[in-house]
Structure 1
Amino acid sequence: MLKSFVVPSSEVPGYSSIYRHPDYTGGTFNGQFADITTLYEIFKAQVKNYPKENFLGARTYYPETNTFGDYEWLTTTDVDEMIDDYGSGLDQIYAKHAPDMNEETGQQPLGIFSINRPEWLLTELTGFRSCRYSIGVSDAAGIEAYEFYIRTSELEVIVCSMDKIPRLLERIEHTPKLKVIISMDKLDCSKPTLFTRAFNTETTEELKSKAASLNIVLTDIAQVIEMGRAKPTEPTLPKPSTYCTLGFSSGSTSTQKAILITHGALTVTSRAGYITMEQRSACHFSFMALSHILDRYNIYAFMHDVVHVGFSSGVEELLLSDMQALHPTILVTTPQLLSSVYNKVAASTIEAKGVYGMLSRFAYKSKLNRVSSGGGFKHALWDWLVFGNIAQLFGGNLRLVISAAVSLKPELQDFFRAALSCNVTQGYGQTETVGLIITQKTDHISSGDIGIPSPGVDIRLRSIPEMGYVATDPQCPRGEIMIRSKGIFSEYYKAPEKTAKAKDGEWLATGDIAQLNPDGTLRTIDRMGNVIRTASSIYVELEPLEMIYSTHQLVDSMMIHGTLHAHDLVAIVVPRPETFVPWAQKIVGNKDAELVELCKDERVASEMTRELRALGARAKAPSKAVIGAVHLEPRAFGDVDRDFLTLSRKLRRFKIVLHYDAVINDLCQKMGNDIDLQMKTSGSS
């Protein structure tokens, strides 16, 4: 039985049939939540229906010890009252200092520059009260990236954590339209937070003086709320056609694009997410960057019912500690985080030696059989003996894990279903699709696919003959994922030619290649921008290979590359220091050798190449997609000043290739190959 509904007589030359969710064969929501048409209405319904529920939470910070305690909460009523006062104050600030509307959008943008915290979502909702649209600004990819966001969106008012203020002021000439900076943290330092550690009353006075000298208004949210409380204004509520945010594509294969999204679009996709995930009274752990669309999509989806949104502390090393303090029921994450945890816990369980290793492997197989046969995710004995401690790492209360960004390996998906005693699903989406548009149903247990169309979404495949993909193949349809929905983006900001290129009539061309499985689910198999052709005349899918090789215990992350005139591939490998250093020290015969020195040693690189080739053989990687040479890089791709990762932790492949151009040339010469480093970078990102 097919899990997707096939629209009759919908196949046309060059395209597959149209596929829909089996419960929504008409392509609509059947009137569910028809009275809610904007994100602001989703929030106001939350206030009306659940007025005293805990809504936004953050861990208490203790500056004396630089530690975090339990979560403190704002209720829906607290947030609603703050939004009225905050919004009235913002209205006064815009009227005085930034009164003009953006010529392109007819609205006013509101910048938000911080890691995830309650004030982020509070500020976005406050902007909605007066038809303003948010610009999520992030410096995760470096200084140039966040200045690009501010300049491109023509921001005049930005709300940020206190630690961002000095850089904004020091480099104000790079963001010339910026007029007002509003600190999330109190400028008088009366309430210490993680973001005020480097400040005191003297240094904040210096910031105020510097801002005044630059004709920049510097204030904080507390003062804006007081302004609004003293002089209330009437709200100007958004419509479905009103823009809610200007997002940015991940930039993994090309220059980033600014993407305009309406209230109607994000409301539609979040409603589909709520229906699909089937989660009530959710406790959501927010740690994936809110400047990216995915986490907001999930939050607004869960807001169709009771939702408690607990934000991470902002310290990456404390992610698991945060979850243990919050006890979330929902975790929206990436394969990278799951892979990192897997590498730590698998070594002491299913990969362990001795009796406990044997017991763990038996328990794992037993639980997988139980899950696949419909017996449920829990097993009293094995959860007590083997898996209980792993579940407790994530807070011990998870009901659903959703993996996004890139495909999750079946082995990881199966392992965490057993280890966390809950379903682990995955989905597919882009900024342009305004969240997940294809998802696995929570009541279907499968691995290796991304699921079926979400409610209200039409999916079809478009043939890519130059890459050998035929969407009309009756045995195995393959092609570019095309999407038709009321939930896709409106346009690229000030880039009509890019908007036209991304759309095929009313369909969005995603640039991702999928295969339709016999059961009606989809599996991503390629990316038009993440594919290279080797001298062997084969197309090599880079991301699946990187997922295979990144599971090696010596590897933290890597990028694989190849050329039209090279038969073998090369890899830029960032080692995992805790396992790599002792391993490499044995090779060079020096127990005092450090990471940087070891990465430069050709003997170590040669042995790493052998290790990866052996792993590829065990994992049955394509026989013609062989790693022939390795460059060991001691610095992580995620270092702030490198700009090598997108907000969703995907590789910015074109930037990495440019940076390591000479290195890749050298590796290819050592393999005896001619050099041609032209990459295929077509398609959206």
Structure 2
Amino acid sequence: MLKSFVVPSSDIPGYSSIYRHPDYKSGTFNGKFADITTLYEVFKAQVKNHPKENFLGARAYNPETSTFGDYEWLTTTDVDEMIDDYGSGLDQLFAKHAPDMNEETGQQPLGIFSINRPEWVLTELTAFRSCRYSVGVSDAGGLEASEFYIRCSELEVLVCSMDKIPRILERITHTPRLKVIISMDKLDCSKPTPSTQAFSARTTEALRSKAAFLNIVLTDIAQVIEMGRAKPTEPTPPKPSTYCTLSFSSGSTGTQKGVLITHGAFAAASRAGYLNLQQRSVCHLSFMSISHIFDRYVIYTFMHDVIHIGFSSGVDELLLSDMQALRPTVLVTTPQLLSSVYSKVAEATVEAKGVVGLLSRFALKSKLGRFSSGRGFKHALWDRLIFGKIAQLFGGNIRLVISGAVSLTPELHNFFRAALSCNVVQGYGQTESIASGLIQRTDDISTGNIGIPSPGIDIRLRSIPDMGYVATDHPCPRGEIMIRGEGIFSGYYKAPEKTAEAMDGEWLATGDIAQLNPDGTLKTIDRMGNIIRTALSIYVELEPLEMVYSTHRLVDSMLIHGSLHAYDLIAIVVPRSETFVPWAQNIVGNKDAELVELCKDDRVADAMAEELRAFGSSAKAPSPAVIGAVHLEPRAFGQVDRELLTISRKLRRFKIVQHYDAEIAGLYQKLGNAIDLQIEPSGSS
């Protein structure tokens, strides 16, 4: 039985048939929430229907010990009242210091620059009150990246955490249009936060003086709220056709582009998400970069019912502590995080030696058989003895896991279904499709696919004959994923030629290659510009291969590279220090050798390459090509250079290859393969 609905007689030359959600065969989804057409209306419905619910929460911070405590909350009513005062104050600041509309959009942009925290969502909702649109600014790609966002979007007003202000003022010539900076933290430091640790009343006074000298208005949210409370203004709510955000694409395959999204499109995407997932009273931990689209898509999706949004502390090492403090009900994550956790817990369970490993593997097999036969995800004995401890790492209250970005391996997918005693669903989307497109149904326990079209979304495949993928392939049509529906971006900011490249008529061309499975689900199999061919004419899909190897107990993360001029693959490997160091010390025969020294030792690198070759064979890696040589990098890619990762923590592949140009050339020479390493960034976001 097909899980998707096939639109009759919809195939045309070069394209597959059109596929839709089986419950929405007409391609529309009028009905529940159809009267809610903007994100501001989504929030206002939350206030009306759930006025006293905890809404935005953050962990209490103790500046004396630099530790985090329990979550403290603002209710929906609290936030609604703050938005009115905050919005009135912003109206006055814009009117006085930045009155002009953006020529491209006809609206005023409001920049937001901080880690995930309540003030981020508060500020975005406040922008909506006065028909402004948000611009998420991130420095995950380095200082120049954040300046690029501010400069490219022509921001004049920026709301940011206090720790960002000194750098902005120091380099104000790089953001020449900026006129107003609003600190999320009180400038008098009367309420300490992690962002104010390096500040005092004296240093903030120096910031004020410097801002005044540069003709920059510097204030804080508390002062803006007081301004608005003293002189209220009337709201000017948005329409479906007005913009709600300018969100930058991830940049994993090339230059980042500003993606313009309307309220109507975002509201449609979030409504489709809610109708698909049907999760009531959700507690969500916001930890993936909120300036990127995925986390905000999740927030507005679950805002159609009760949602409690707890923000992470912003410290990677405390993420599991945040989960245990919040106890979220839905975990929205990426395969990278699950792989990282798996590499830690698997060594003590399913990959352990002796009785513990034997028992853990039997328990895993038992649980997989249980939910495959429709008897549910829980098992009284195995959850108490083995898997309950893993579930507690995530707070012990997870009832659904949603994974985006690259695909999960079937082994990882099923392991976390068993470990967390709930379903794990995969989805697919891009910034241009507002993180929506396809997702597995919550009752689907298959693996190796990205599900079916969301409500109101049409999906078809476009033949790419140059790559050998055609929509008439039998029994599984293959081609580029094309998306059509209400929840699609309006275009790239000031880049009409790029917009034209991304569209095929009314269809969004994603750049991702998929095959249509016999059951009506889709499986991503390739990426245009993200696949390589070796000298043996073996085509290697890089991201799935990296996902498999990143589950190895010695590996934290890695980048795999290959070439037409080489028979084997090479890899840049960031080791997992706690397991790698003792393993490598045994190889060199020195119990005192440290991580950096071990990574430079050729004997260790050669042994790691052997480990990966053996692991790839045993793990049934999705490519017959083998890793012939590795370079060991003791630092995480983001620590080496923040520009090596996207804001959604994906590898910026062409940047990494450029950074390790010499090391990659050396690895190929070691294999007896000298190659030309000129890299041309290509592909869409």
Q: Where does residue 71 of structure 2 map in the other structure?
A: 71
Spell out, residue by residue over 1:120-159, the C-alpha distance to the aligned partner (whole angstroms, 9 max, x if none).
0000000001111101111111101101111100111100
Spell out, residue by residue over 1:359-405, the C-alpha distance to the aligned partner (whole angstroms, 9 max, x if none).
22222111111111111111112111111111111111111110111
Offset at residue 355 of structure 1 (A):
2.4
Where does structure 1 differ by over 6 angstroms across 4 or more consecutive aligned residues?
A: none
Contact kept in structure 2, 1:247 and 1:259, CA below 8 Å: yes
Contact kept in structure 2, 1:510 and 1:683, CA below 8 Å: no
Q: Secondary structure, in 3 states, of the residue corresponding to 2:642?
A: coil
Q: Secondary structure, in 3 states, of the residue corresponding to 2:572?
A: strand
Contact kept in structure 1, 2:584 and 2:604, CA below 8 Å: yes
Of 312-321 and 621-630, the range deviating more from structure 2:
621-630
Offset at residue 678 of structure 1 (A):
4.6
Unpaired runs of at least 5, structure 2: none
Spell out, residue by residue over 1:505-525, the C-alpha distance to the aligned partner (whole angstroms, 9 max, x if none).
110000001111111111111
Q: Where does residue 256 of structure 1 map in the other structure?
A: 256
Offset at residue 474 of structure 1 (A):
3.0
| Structure 1 CA distance for aligned equivalents of residues 201 and 175 of structure 2 | 27
Contact kept in structure 2, 1:408 and 1:448, CA below 8 Å: yes
Q: Secondary structure, in 3 states, of the residue corresponding to 2:634?
A: coil
Letter in 2 for 1:546: E
Letter in 2 for 1:423: N
Letter in 2 for 1:675: I
| Structure 2 CA distance for aligned equivalents of residues 10 and 362 of structure 1 | 47
Q: Where does residue 337 of structure 1 map in the other structure?
A: 337
| Structure 2 CA distance for aligned equivalents of residues 67 and 33 of structure 1 | 41
Letter in 2 for 1:22: P
Of 613-622 and 490-499, the range deviating more from structure 2:
613-622
| Structure 2 CA distance for aligned equivalents of residues 653 and 619 of structure 1 | 24
| Structure 1 CA distance for aligned equivalents of residues 541 and 443 of structure 2 | 30
Contact kept in structure 2, 1:585 and 1:592, CA below 8 Å: yes
Q: Where does residue 171 of structure 1 map in the other structure?
A: 171
Offset at residue 228 of structure 1 (A):
0.2
| Structure 2 CA distance for aligned equivalents of residues 642 and 325 of structure 1 | 29
Q: Where does residue 128 of structure 1 map in the other structure?
A: 128
Q: Secondary structure, in 3 states, of the residue corresponding to 1:449?
A: coil
Offset at residue 679 of structure 1 (A):
4.8
Contact kept in structure 2, 1:536 and 1:624, CA below 8 Å: no
Spell out, residue by residue over 1:215-248, the C-alpha distance to the aligned partner (whole angstroms, 9 max, x if none).
1111000000000000001111101110110011
| Structure 1 CA distance for aligned equivalents of residues 681 and 287 of structure 2 | 30
Q: Secondary structure, in 3 states, of the residue corresponding to 2:459?
A: strand
| Structure 1 CA distance for aligned equivalents of residues 367 and 133 of structure 2 | 47
Q: Where does residue 551 of structure 2 map in the other structure?
A: 551
Contact kept in structure 1, 2:344 and 2:553, CA below 8 Å: no
Letter in 1 for 2:98: A
Q: Secondary structure, in 3 states, of the residue corresponding to 2:206?
A: helix
Contact kept in structure 2, 1:331 and 1:402, CA below 8 Å: yes
| Structure 1 CA distance for aligned equivalents of residues 2 and 605 of structure 2 | 48
Q: Where does residue 404 of structure 1 map in the other structure?
A: 404
| Structure 2 CA distance for aligned equivalents of residues 619 and 357 of structure 1 | 17
Contact kept in structure 2, 1:416 and 1:424, CA below 8 Å: yes
Q: Where does residue 283 of structure 1 map in the other structure?
A: 283
Offset at residue 622 of structure 1 (A):
5.3
Contact kept in structure 1, 2:250 and 2:648, CA below 8 Å: yes
Offset at residue 624 of structure 1 (A):
4.3
| Structure 2 CA distance for aligned equivalents of residues 504 and 194 of structure 1 | 47
Letter in 1 for 2:646: T
Give the length in aligned residue pairs.
685
Q: Where does residue 431 of structure 2 map in the other structure?
A: 431
Letter in 1 for 2:151: R
Offset at residue 591 of structure 1 (A):
1.8
Offset at residue 317 of structure 1 (A):
1.0
Q: Where does residue 187 of structure 1 map in the other structure?
A: 187
Q: Where does residue 272 of structure 1 map in the other structure?
A: 272
Offset at residue 531 of structure 1 (A):
0.8
Contact kept in structure 2, 1:564 and 1:676, CA below 8 Å: no
Letter in 2 for 1:388: G
Unpaired runs of at least 5, structure 1: none
Equivalent residue runs for 1:114-513 within 5 Å: 114-513=114-513
Spell out, residue by residue over 1:600-633, the C-alpha distance to the aligned partner (whole angstroms, 9 max, x if none).
1111111111111111111233564221211111
Spell out, residue by residue over 1:161-214, the C-alpha distance to the aligned partner (whole angstroms, 9 max, x if none).
111111111111111111111000111111111111111111111111111111
Contact kept in structure 2, 1:289 and 1:647, CA below 8 Å: yes
Contact kept in structure 1, 2:658 and 2:679, CA below 8 Å: no
1:20 aligns with 2:43: no
Q: Where does residue 592 of structure 2 map in the other structure?
A: 592
| Structure 1 CA distance for aligned equivalents of residues 299 and 332 of structure 2 | 10
Of 674-683 and 467-476, the range deviating more from structure 2:
674-683
Aligned identity (percent) is: 81
Q: Where does residue 80 of structure 1 map in the other structure?
A: 80
Q: Where does residue 531 of structure 2 map in the other structure?
A: 531
Cα 1:453–1:677 change in 2 (3 A) is: same
Spell out, residue by residue over 1:16-45, the C-alpha distance to the aligned partner (whole angstroms, 9 max, x if none).
111000000000113221211000000011
Offset at residue 676 of structure 1 (A):
2.7
Offset at residue 642 of structure 1 (A):
3.4
Offset at residue 587 of structure 1 (A):
1.6
Contact kept in structure 2, 1:528 and 1:681, CA below 8 Å: no
Letter in 1 for 2:484: R
Q: Where does residue 90 of structure 2 map in the other structure?
A: 90
Offset at residue 538 of structure 1 (A):
3.0
Spell out, residue by residue over 1:314-337, the C-alpha distance to the aligned partner (whole angstroms, 9 max, x if none).
111111111111111111011111
Contact kept in structure 1, 2:406 and 2:544, CA below 8 Å: no
Contact kept in structure 2, 1:15 and 1:471, CA below 8 Å: yes
Q: Secondary structure, in 3 states, of the residue corresponding to 2:341?
A: helix
Contact kept in structure 1, 2:545 and 2:623, CA below 8 Å: no
Of 29-38 and 496-505, the range deviating more from structure 2:
29-38
Spell out, residue by residue over 1:475-514, the C-alpha distance to the aligned partner (whole angstroms, 9 max, x if none).
1111110001111110001110100000001100000011
Q: Where does residue 520 of structure 2 map in the other structure?
A: 520
Letter in 2 for 1:180: V
Offset at residue 681 of structure 1 (A):
4.5
Instruction: Please tell me the root mean square deviation across aligned C-alpha atoms, in Å.
Output: 1.2
Spell out, residue by residue over 1:303-362, the C-alpha distance to the aligned partner (whole angstroms, 9 max, x if none).
111111111111111111111111111110111111111111111122222323222222
Q: Where does residue 602 of structure 2 map in the other structure?
A: 602
Cα 1:316–1:78 change in 2 (3 A) is: same
Contact kept in structure 1, 2:285 and 2:312, CA below 8 Å: yes
Spell out, residue by residue over 1:46-71, the C-alpha distance to the aligned partner (whole angstroms, 9 max, x if none).
11111111111111111111111111
Letter in 2 for 1:441: R
Q: Secondary structure, in 3 states, of the residue corresponding to 1:668?
A: helix
Q: Secondary structure, in 3 states, of the residue corresponding to 2:639?
A: coil
Of 606-615 and 263-272, the range deviating more from structure 2:
606-615
Contact kept in structure 1, 2:339 and 2:547, CA below 8 Å: no
Contact kept in structure 2, 1:188 and 1:204, CA below 8 Å: yes
| Structure 1 CA distance for aligned equivalents of residues 150 and 324 of structure 2 | 36
Offset at residue 292 of structure 1 (A):
0.4
TM-score scaled by length of structure 1: 0.98
Cα 1:623–1:531 change in 2 (3 A) is: closer
| Structure 2 CA distance for aligned equivalents of residues 335 and 544 of structure 1 | 10
Offset at residue 647 of structure 1 (A):
1.4
Q: Secondary structure, in 3 states, of the residue corresponding to 1:635?
A: coil
| Structure 1 CA distance for aligned equivalents of residues 675 and 8 of structure 2 | 49
| Structure 2 CA distance for aligned equivalents of residues 311 and 465 of structure 1 | 46
Cα 1:2–1:623 change in 2 (3 A) is: closer
Contact kept in structure 2, 1:568 and 1:624, CA below 8 Å: no
Contact kept in structure 2, 1:554 and 1:576, CA below 8 Å: yes
Q: Secondary structure, in 3 states, of the residue corresponding to 2:587?
A: helix
Q: Where does residue 37 of structure 2 map in the other structure?
A: 37
